[in-house]
Amino acid sequence: WGLGQGALLQVTFENTGGTVWPRFKAEAYIEKNAWWEQFNADAAYERDASCMVIPPEDPVTSPAPVVLFMLGMGHFNGRQGFVVGDIPDFLQVPAFRKQCYVVVVKPETLTGTAYWLGTRFLKDYSPDAVWYMFTEVLRKL
């Protein structure tokens, strides 16, 4: 059942699953421009909690929007690399990358930003700790 002799197989853009624009190299941008902020998010924990702040690509001339980006469960307690998958994919959207600050809380049970839900290996963000860190970053910006 093959293609006949002289037949041409033509793949259209819609069938490639690709994008119109070349992929933005987010990892390199993050490594060059982002910085870490550390706070004691909960007095019950000795270790400071940390979050990454990624500035907008375009120069900031007025107050810029700030996005609180919550990593997926695979990133809790450093199971997956921090800058793998979620953040680079998010930064592919030009509007977020060019105009917004992005604040990414590092979810760890040793710092109080995440806690165990009491069943199996389920964890969740600690809303109070995340909100505290986010408002502290907003004050600094």
Q: Where are the domains of the chain?
A: 24-140
Confidence class of residue 60 from pLDDT cuts 50, 70 and 90?
Answer: confident
Q: Which of 1-5, 40-44, 45-49, 67-71 has the lowest mean pLDDT?
A: 1-5
For residue 96, how many other CB atoms are within 10 A of its CB?
18
What pTM was estimated for this model as a whole?
A: 0.78
Q: What percent of the chain has pLDDT over 90?
A: 33
pLDDT at 1 over 90: no
Question: How many distinct helices (H) and strands (E) make up the chain?
Answer: 4, 6
pLDDT at position 7: 65
pLDDT at 14 over 70: no
Radius of gyration (C-alpha) of the chain in whole angstroms: 20
- pLDDT, average across residues 70-94: 81
Element (H, E) at 38: strand 35-39
> pLDDT tier at 73 (50, 70, 90 boundaries)?
confident
